[in-house]
Amino acid sequence: MDGHMLSVGSRVQIISYGPFRGLRGTIRTIHCLPSLDVPFCFYQVELEGTHVKEAIWFAYEEVELISPQEHLTSQVENLKRTF
């Protein structure tokens, strides 16, 4: 992520190696550690497509922003399923 800070409501994909890799979700809460030269943030992400009911914390290097184009494509696909 190159130290970029994301915002609440951003759509992200989990890129860490673990059981949540490849899942997508929405940032609900952000916690940044103070007094560091490089911003180090944790993001609480509400995951989609899991049975986990609570949002899960991930370090900044474990998530990446879903591109706006990709986000729009998924919205269009959801609309197609609705009709």
Helix-, strand-, coil-residue percentages of the chain, each rounded to 5: 20, 35, 45
pLDDT at 68: 62
> In this structure, which topology does domain 11-82 adopt according to CATH?
SH3 type barrels. (2.30.30)
* pLDDT tens, residue by residue, 1-60: 344 678 899 999 999 999 999 999 999 999 988 876 777 899 999 999 888 889 999 999
- Cβ within 8 Å of residue 64, ≥6 positions away: 1, 12, 13, 15
DSSP H helices in the chain? 68-82
Where along the chain do its domains lie?
Answer: 11-82
